[in-house]
Amino acid sequence: MATGSYHHGNLRAALLERAEEVLVKDGAVGLSLRGLARDLGVSHAAPTRHFRDRQDLLDTLVTEGFGDLNHRLREAAGSAGPVDERLTALGRAYVVFATERSALLEIMFAAKKEEGAGEDLRRLAHVSLEIAAGLIGEAQQTGAVRPGDPARLAQVAFSAVHGLAVLAVGGLLDGTPVDEATDLTLNVLLAGLGAAP
């Protein structure tokens, strides 16, 4: 599909696709616009027609990544079942995403100090937190979670699963299978959230 219009048809989409392949294989360091152009058989200047600069391409990947993540989180949060099971599902979904797309996760939480486009990305990251906060608010109504600002408790929950993902991706879990580490983390987290302040 996609009939080649000039040289490629949809160079933009091809660049993004190839970029994530390179990202998985060599990390963000090994990703160059000239390299992508070479891989796709176009001139080295062609990518700049579709992305202002290298960072713009990276930001586009990150945006897509947050889209996928937030979609998965919404599915987990909205599934059937009691609220504590949905909280567990939410945590697991995060860790699954983080380990499946670890190269992407790394750049999602890296270039957060860029001033310009960083604002949009921060808003997207925020959505993840808001999904967690919504579910925690629900859980507070059933008494499964202690009282308190749901946004702040969501920060705590996010910290737990994100930190675990970093350990897993960094190979610091030793022999512990990721699933077991995840379940233990979520068990401790939910026990802690449930306990009286």
Partner DNA sequence: ACCTGAACACCGTTCAAGT
| Contact partners, residue 113, CB within 8 Å, separation at least 6 | none
Q: Which of residues 142-161 bind its own copies (CB under 8 A)?
A: 148, 151-153, 155-156, 158-161
Q: Is 195 in the site for its own copies (CB under 8 A)?
A: yes
Q: Is 185 in the site for its own copies (CB under 8 A)?
A: yes
Binding partner of residue 71 among DNA, its own copies, none, CB cut-off 5 to 8 Å per kind: none
3-state DSSP assignment of residue 166: helix
Among residues 8 and 118, whose Cβ is nearest to its own copies?
118
- Gap between the Cα atoms of 129 and 153, Å rounded: 10
DSSP code for 10: -
User: Which residue in 34, 85, 110, 120 binds its own copies (CB under 8 A)?
Assistant: 110
Q: Is 5 in the site for DNA (CB under 7 A)?
A: yes
CB of 33 to DNA, least distance (A): 4
Query: Cβ distance 167 to 173 under 8 Å?
Result: yes
Among residues 32 and 63, whose Cβ is nearest to DNA?
32
Q: Is 8 in the site for its own copies (CB under 8 A)?
A: no
The 18-47 contact track toward DNA, x by CB under 7 A, reads: -------------xxxxx-xx---xxxxx-
| Contact partners, residue 70, CB within 8 Å, separation at least 6 | 124, 127, 128, 131
Please write down the HEC assignment for all residues of 22-52: HHHHHCHHHCCHHHHHHHHCCCCCHHHHCCC
User: Which residue in 36, 57, 62, 189 binds its own copies (CB under 8 A)?
Assistant: 189
User: Which residue in 18, 20, 22, 54 binds DNA (CB under 7 A)?
Assistant: 54
Among residues 12 and 109, whose Cβ is nearest to its own copies?
109
Query: Cβ distance 150 to 133 under 8 Å?
Result: yes
Segment contacting DNA by CB under 7 A, of 51-59, 84-92, 126-134, 158-166: 51-59
Q: What is the distance between the terminal CA atoms of the chain, rounded to a whole angstrom?
A: 58
Q: Is 60 in the site for DNA (CB under 7 A)?
A: no
What angle separates helix 11-26 from helix 54-78, to the nearest 10 degrees? 80
DSSP code for 80: S
Residues near DNA, by CB under 7 A: 5-8, 11, 31-35, 37-38, 42-46, 48-50, 52-55
